[in-house]
């Protein structure tokens, strides 16, 4: 897959690009590019935004700037599936990741300030994706979240591909959260490890893990220490 992330802050992705699964996916043929809107803007002085029609606070990223950036990178031929990161978008979950990972190429648009001119959503983007119902200062962190979820699914990204098979929300677990893991020491400060895991009975271990996944699936608020 080829990922192109359009942003005003390409340097925000330097850390992400250096992460092992991302490096491995890139070595195995995936592409991860950042594109700076300012490199393509047709406006003077690297301008990319303007004040909102109708008044109000903040600045809005311009549709002509976004279109120029997409055209500069992809030409006037086919554009990849283009996704705006937006708090109001479709909530990101594993089924959506599984759908998107089938795409040969994806463009991610990261907004800042008051976001994009609505015509970006209506005419340039195919989808809007949200990483949760809260508002962040920009689309860079959400784009990294989505890119991470995609890149780790690419061939070569994970040291042991088996670790991606039975993980939370995978098909192997029927979409349930993953079961708990334990490792040495077998006892720490009086906190033990479930006997079944050290019993050597693989059938019982499988059964226990399944029960644990189901119990976690029944409490979608996640774990609380009480």
Positions that interact with ligand ADE (CB under 6 A) = 85-87, 130-132, 134-136, 139, 142
Q: Residue 83 Cβ, how far from ligand ADE at the closest point, in Å?
A: 10
Whether the CB-CB separation of 194 and 208 falls below 8 Å is answered with: yes
Task: Give whichever of 5 and 158 is closer to ligand ADE, judged by the CB atom.
Answer: 5
Q: Phi/psi zone of residue 37: left (φ > 0), alpha (ψ -120 to 50 degrees), beta?
A: alpha
Bridge partner residues of 7 (DSSP): 36
Task: Give whichever of 83 and 154 is closer to ligand ADE, judged by the CB atom.
Answer: 83
Q: Residue 137 Cβ, how far from ligand ADE at the closest point, in Å?
A: 7
DSSP label of 193 = -
Q: Residue 94 Cβ, how far from ligand ADE at the closest point, in Å?
A: 16
Task: Give whichever of 147 and 173 is closer to ligand ADE, judged by the CB atom.
Answer: 147
Which two tokens mark 224?
């609380």
Q: Residue 108 Cβ, how far from ligand ADE at the closest point, in Å?
A: 10
Burial class of residue 21, CB neighbours in 10 A (0-12, 13-18, 19+): middle
Task: Give whichever of 58 and 192 is closer to ligand ADE, judged by the CB atom.
Answer: 58
Bridge partner residues of 61 (DSSP): 49, 116
């Amino acid at each position: 897959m080829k990922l192109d992330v359009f942003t005003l802050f390409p340097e925000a992705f330097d850390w992400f690009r250096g992460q092992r699964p991302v490096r491995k996916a890139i070595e195995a043929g995936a592409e991860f590019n950042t594109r700076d809107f300012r490199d393509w803007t047709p406006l003077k002085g690297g301008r990319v935004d303007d004040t909102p029609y109708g008044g109000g606070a903040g600045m809005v990223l311009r549709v002509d700037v976004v279109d120029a950036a997409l055209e500069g990178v992809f030409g006037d031929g086919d554009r990849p599936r283009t996704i705006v990161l937006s708090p109001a978008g479709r909530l990101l979950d594993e089924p959506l990741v599984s759908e998107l990972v089938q795409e040969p190429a994806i463009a991610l648009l990261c907004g800042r300030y008051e976001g994009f001119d609505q015509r970006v959503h209506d005419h340039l983007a195919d989808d809007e994706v949200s990483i949760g119902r809260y508002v962040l200062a920009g689309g860079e962190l959400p784009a990294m979240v989505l890119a991470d979820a995609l890149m780790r699914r690419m061939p070569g990204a994970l040291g042991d591909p088996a670790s991606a098979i039975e993980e939370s929300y995978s098909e192997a677990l029927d979409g349930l959260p993953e079961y708990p893991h334990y490792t040495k020491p077998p006892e720490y400060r009086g906190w033990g490890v479930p006997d079944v895991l050290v019993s050597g009975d693989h059938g019982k271990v499988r059964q226990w893990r399944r029960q644990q996944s189901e119990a976690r699936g029944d409490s979608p608020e996640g774990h609380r220490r009480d």
